[in-house]
Chains A and B, each alone.
Chain A
Amino acid sequence: MSRETYEAPNTGSGSRAPALGRGNAESALGGEGPATQYKCGDCNAQMKLKRGDPIRCLDCGHRVLYKERTKRMVQFEAR
């Protein structure tokens, strides 16, 4: 079973607002690293957060956020 090592789904589907690229994010907010997609645990809103960002929903202020599941296929043995 070669289970791939986990990689944050940073690039996402691309259909939403353009991801905050490394370049402009650093210049705008002083943060670093790629933005990661999260979902609010209360209102289900989607948002992208970078390192150093407050862990907080931008819409409702809820402090529990969920990371999105990998888009890759994961193989399991049914036992």
Chain B
Amino acid sequence: MARNTIIPSQVVIEQRKRVGIQLETVTNVSGTDFPGNYPDEDHAWDVIKFAENFKVEFHTLAPWDASFSLIGLDASVANAFRRILIAEIPSLAIEWCFVNNNTSIIQDEVLAARLGLVPFTGNRVGLLDFLKWYKKPAEGEEKVEGTDYNTVVLDLQIECTHNKDAARNERDPLKKYNNAHVYARDIKFIPFGRQAEHFSGENAIRPTNPDILLAKLRPGQVIDIQMHAIKGVGSDHAKFSPVATASYRLLPTIDILRPILGQDAVKFKKCFPAGVIGLETVTKKEAAQKGSGYEGHEGEKKAVVFDAMKDTVSRECLRHEEFNKKGEEKVKLGRVRDHFIFSVESVGQWNSDEMFLESIRHLRTKCESLKADLADLKMKGT
């Protein structure tokens, strides 16, 4: 590069990252930090630069629910992780139902579809390492017999009967009858082959949420279904998706441009979810400062931003004249374009944080295979 490169100031960089949120529009939506956009500025992607700026912050970390921020990332990459989490990480779900008997009100095919959606949990090593893919036969081909390392057998056998101990005038079906409701916990795991080594006792394969209502029965009605569960991916069917939610949002920003005082401050606080805006008293020092807008307001309440991350960006504050009068706006809402607050909620087979790491691994393998293909292409071209 012949010309000298200009390095923009930190303030300018921060300004460029802001998405503007107005009453009815969203402005400055697309990123501008790509090569050639700003004359004489270097925006070529660089690993070292990226590594210096990239940050990860954890907000909550429970086994099945994690929330963390990825800062300094491009939206395309953040979105790739989200999509991989939803559609490409494998998990176990019921795929075949063998209905021996079902005299309940719910039809076989509807019940089968419901059973497929029930999430299962169990020994993590067993689920992630021991269990392998079941290769589905092609259209028209005969189904291949499953083995202990690719098929899990489950059983649901339940019959509704009269409860002899119930009061004569009992009206609640749950007390009047036995097994009036069929729950996910009634599904029993049947280990075979080497499965008992990994899945026994408290490590057994079981529904993550035992209280899912599957069907309702009345005396004399029976359900007897054997089920085969296999590993699959969410792109095939949503039941195989390992996440309940995997989503991100951009960090909200709230800038108070002019002081908001007294009753206005209380009203302003009410425009936001709890914990976003707080009230503080104007100090003597602030009141003494010329041109601060606090002159003569010592001891009054003023609105202060406590935690913008908790904001839902409802834009309620922009609806009120006192905060959003044209020409003298007191508040500016925005979002940071490269600050992604992820929320990954596992459905029971993966730990949330491990699952995110797995999504990174997936993206890497994709990149590597693309790289290999490109190299192959080059060789063919010459």
Chain A residues proximal to chain B, CB less than 8 Å: 44, 69, 71, 73-79
Contacts and interface: CB of A to CB of B under 8 A. Distances in A.
A73 B98 CA distance: 6
B97 A75 contact: yes
B103 A69 contact: yes
Interface of B: 93-103, 108-109, 112-113, 115-117, 220, 227, 237, 239
B95 A76 contact: no
A71 B101 CA distance: 7
A69 B101 contact: yes
A46 B116 CA distance: 34
A76 B96 contact: yes
25 contacts: A69-B102, A69-B103, A71-B101, A73-B98, A74-B99, A74-B108, A75-B96, A75-B97, A75-B98, A76-B99, A76-B109, A76-B112, A77-B95, A77-B96, A77-B112, A77-B116, A78-B94, A78-B96, A78-B112, A78-B113, A78-B115, A78-B227, A78-B239, A79-B95, A79-B237
A44 B221 CA distance: 12
A76 B97 contact: yes
A78 B220 contact: no
7 nearest A-B residue pairs (beta carbon): A78-B116, A76-B112, A76-B97, A78-B94, A74-B99, A78-B112, A73-B100
A73 B99 contact: yes
Contacts of A79: 95, 113, 116, 237, 239
Contacts of A78: 93-97, 112-113, 115-117, 227, 239
Nearest to A69: B103
B368 to A, nearest CB: 32
Contacts of A73: 98-100
